[in-house]
Amino acid sequence: MLYVVTTTAAERLKFGVTSGDPRPRLGDHRAAGYASVTRLLTGLPEDVAPEMERAVLAALRLAGIAPARGREYFDGGALAVVLDVADNYPRSAS
């Protein structure tokens, strides 16, 4: 599954993929201040979530948007790009 979490006022975001129960990972992010689950895309075929994550990262690079820290933490201004890719990415395995 792919998830996108944001701080309450969406000034920062984090996205990533996880398998199985997302609650522990989302709980860790909530404890770090990312309390809003903006997207949680479940039931994706095996390879789709990691491919989607790579597509989000590529789109952000093309848009000239650099991570605020690490690889998947961004300022809130990146949210539209992240959601556009996540919402429009094909849901079937390639």
Supply φ then ψ for residue 4, to 5 degrees.
-130, 120
pLDDT above 90 for 36: yes
User: Which pLDDT does position 69 carry in this prediction?
Assistant: 92
With respect to residue 33, please indicate whether it lies within any of the assigned structural domains. Answer: yes
**Reported pTM:** 0.92
Residue with tokens 């079937």: 92
How far from the centroid of its chain's Cα atoms is residue 65's Cα?
14
pLDDT above 90 for 19: no
pLDDT above 80 for 93: no
Domain span at residue 28? 2-88
With respect to residue 94, please indicate whether it lies within any of the assigned structural domains. Answer: no
Q: CA–CA separation, 32 vs 67, rounded Å?
A: 17
pLDDT above 60 for 94: no
Domain total in the chain: 1
Kindly state the helix (H) or strand (E) to which residue 21 belongs, with its residue range: none
The pLDDT tens digits of the residues spanning 39-91 come to: 999 999 989 999 999 999 999 999 999 999 999 999 999 999 999 999 999 98
Q: How many CB atoms lie within 10 A of CB 60?
A: 19
Q: Which residue has the higher pLDDT, 94 or 45?
A: 45
